[in-house]
Amino acid sequence: MRITLRLIVALVVTVAVVAAGSAYFHVEQERLRLNDEMERRSRLLAESLQESVQPAIEAGASANLQRLVEKFGNRERVSGMAIYDAKGKALAVTEKLGPSLSGVRVLVAETLERRVDASRFETIGDQRMHVYVMPLLAKDAAVGALVMFQNATYIQAQLKHIWQIAFFRVLVQVLLITLVTLLVVRWSIVGPIAKMAEWMKQLRSGEVAEPGFALPKEDLLAPITREVSTFARHLSAAKAAAGEEARLRQSAEALWTPDRLKEHVRAKLHGRPLFVVSNREPYMHTRKGRKVECIVPAGGLVTALEPVLRASGGTWIAHGAGDADFEVVDGKNRLRVPPDDPHYTLRRVSLSKEEENGYYYGFSNEGMWPLCHIAHTRPAFRAEDWAQYQAANQKFAQAVVEELNGVEGPCVLIQDYHFALLPRMIKELRPDARIAVFWHIPWPNPEAFGICPWQRELLYGMLGADLVGFHTQYHCNNFLDTVDRTLESRIDWERFAVEKGGHSTLVKPFPISVAFPEAFQDVDSAPVAATEDSTALLKEMGIKAKFLGVGVERMDYTKGVLERFRGIERFLEKYPRYQGEFTFVQLGAPSRTHIKRYHDFLAEVEQEAERINWRFKTTDYKPILFLKKHHSHQEIMPYYRQADVCMVTSLHDGMNLVAKEFVAARADEGGALILSRFAGAAQELRDALIVNPYDAEQLADSIRAALEMAPEERSERMRRMRETVREHNIYRWAGNLIEELTRIRVAPETLGKA
pTM across the whole model: 0.69
Q: Please tell me whether residue 278 adopts helix, strand or coil conformation.
A: strand
Instruction: Report in angstroms the alpha-carbon separations of 139 from 110, 312, 452, 514.
Output: 19, 108, 121, 113
- Mean pLDDT, the chain cut into blocks of 10 residues (754 residues total): 74 83 86 86 84 79 79 73 85 75 81 86 81 85 86 85 86 84 76 71 58 54 66 63 52 72 87 92 91 81 82 91 93 92 93 94 94 85 97 97 93 96 96 95 95 97 97 96 96 94 94 86 56 76 92 92 97 96 94 87 95 94 93 90 96 93 95 96 96 97 97 97 94 92 71 37
**What's 619's DSSP letter?**
T
Instruction: Report in angstroms the alpha-carbon separations of 51 from 42, 44, 226.
Output: 15, 13, 87
Decide: residue 190, CB within 10 A, 0-12 exposed, 13-18 middle, 19+ buried. middle
d(CA 734, CA 740): 10
The predicted pLDDT at position 333 comes to 95
Residues 6 or more apart in contact with residue 205 via CB below 8 angstroms = none
d(CA 616, CA 737): 49
How do 78-85 and 90-93 pair as beta strands? antiparallel
The predicted pLDDT at position 508 comes to 97
CATH fold, domain 259-350+393-509, is Rossmann fold (3.40.50)
Residues 6 or more apart in contact with residue 628 via CB below 8 angstroms = 555, 588, 590, 602, 606
Tell me which amino acid residue 179 is: L
Concatenate the DSSP letters of all residues of 190-243 into one string: IHHHHHHHHHHHHHHHTS-SS-SSPPP--TTTHHHHHHHHHHHHHHHHHHHHHH
Between 3.40.50.720, 3.40.640.10, 3.30.450.20, 3.40.50.740, what CATH number should domain 2-157 receive? 3.30.450.20
Identify the CA nearest to 685 among candidates 713, 665, 655: 655
Tell me which amino acid residue 555 is: M
Is residue 51 within 8 Å of residue 68, measured between CB atoms? Answer: no
Residues constituting the chain: 754
Is residue 653 within 8 Å of residue 442, measured between CB atoms? Answer: yes
Instruction: Report in angstroms the alpha-carbon separations of 325 from 294, 347, 458.
Output: 9, 11, 30
CATH fold, domain 534-728, is Rossmann fold (3.40.50)
Residues 6 or more apart in contact with residue 139 via CB below 8 angstroms = none
What is the CA 721 to chain-centroid distance, rounded? 35
d(CA 13, CA 554): 62
Decide: residue 369, CB within 10 A, 0-12 exposed, 13-18 middle, 19+ buried. buried
The predicted pLDDT at position 372 comes to 94
Concatenate the DSSP letters of all residues of 10-50 into one string: HHHHHHHHHHHHHHHHHHHHHHHHHHHHHHHHHHHHHHHHH
The order of strands in the sheet holding 118-124 is 90-93, 78-85, 141-151, 127-138, 118-124
The predicted pLDDT at position 76 comes to 64
d(CA 270, CA 290): 45
The predicted pLDDT at position 513 comes to 93
Tell me which amino acid residue 403 is: E
Tell me which amino acid residue 546 is: K
Identify the CA nearest to 590 among candidates 567, 563, 561, 613: 561
Residues 6 or more apart in contact with residue 580 via CB below 8 angstroms = 544, 545, 616, 618, 621
d(CA 607, CA 628): 13
Give bridge partners of residue 491 from the DSSP assignment.
Answer: 498
Provide the angle, in degrees to the nearest 10, between the axes of the packed helices 596-616 and 561-574. 10
Neighbours of 517 (CB within 10 A): 14
